[in-house]
Amino acid sequence: KQEVTQIPAALSVPEGENLVLNCSFTDSAIYNLQWFRQDPGKGLTSLLLIQSSQREQTSGRLNASLDKSSGRSTLYIAASQPGDSATYLCAVKGGANNLFFGTGTRLTVIP
């Protein structure tokens, strides 16, 4: 059964710093991996989707990488801003149609 782990569980950084969030998964037979953002009391906003054949995806200040063979992904956030404060979730999609989620990294960017 697929298990997804995110480290660290919480992270605080001063505004302007670059940071990396980590995600690992146990079964490398995946279709794709998605990074989401969740604000308190809100739904999930999709940030980046990496297909299994891809190595990375970029959107603005965000860059996500995927190393399928080692079961790892990272989300890099450049020049962090207070508005980036949220919980970041990693989810993988395998042969079944559902997503397997990690428990998230709660990011606080301090002005």
Partner 1 sequence: NAGVMQNPRHLVRRRGQEARLRCSPMKGHSHVYWYRQLPEEGLKFMVYLQKENIIDESGMPKERFSAEFPKEGPSILRIQQVVRGDSAAYFCASSPPGQGRQPQHFGDGTRLSIL
The contact set with partner 1 (CB under 8 A) reads 4, 31-32, 34, 36, 41-46, 49, 51, 89, 91, 93, 95-104
What burial class does residue 8 get, using C-beta atoms within 10 Å of its C-beta: 0-12 exposed, 13-18 middle, 19+ buried?
Answer: exposed
The answer to whether the beta carbons of residues 99 and 92 sit under 8 Å apart is yes
Please report, for residues 9, 50, 84, the alpha-carbon distance to residue 71 in angstroms, rounded to integers and kept in the order given: 18, 13, 26
Least gap, CB of 104 to partner 1 (angstroms): 7
Nearer to partner 1, 75 or 99 (CB): 99
Nearer to partner 1, 64 or 80 (CB): 64
Least gap, CB of 79 to partner 1 (angstroms): 26
